[in-house]
Structure 1
Amino acid sequence: MLGAFVDGELPASARETLEARLADDPRAAARVAAWRAQKAALRALCEGARVSGEDAAPDAGQAGAEPAVLILRPSGSWWWRAGMAAAWVAVGAGLAVAATMLVPRLAPGLAPELMAGAAPTAARSETSEAFARRADIAYAVYSPEQRHPVEVGAADEAHLVAWLSRRLGKPLSVPSLAEYGYTLVGGRLLPGNTGPAAQFMYENDAGERLTLYVASSAVDRDPVRLLRDGNRRTFYWSTERTGYALSGPQTEPKLREIALDVCGALGGKPGQW
Structure 2
Amino acid sequence: MQSTKGLALEVRLSAFIDGEVTDEDRKELEQLIARDDEARRLLETLKSGTAFGNKAFEEFLHDPVPLSLVRGIKQGTAANPKAARVIPAAARKTKVKIWPRALAASVTLLLVGGSTGFLIGKTSDDDARLTKTAAARTWLDDIADYHRVYSRQTAEHLVEVRPSSDGRMESWLASSVGVNFSLPDLGERGLTFEGARLLVAAGKPVAQLIYKNDSGDVFAICFLKGKPGQPDSKMTESINDDISMISWQKNGASYVVVGPSSEANLEQLADAVETTI
| Structure-2-length-normalised TM-score | 0.47
Larger radius of gyration: 2
| Structure-1-length-normalised TM-score | 0.48
Q: Which has the higher helix share?
A: 2
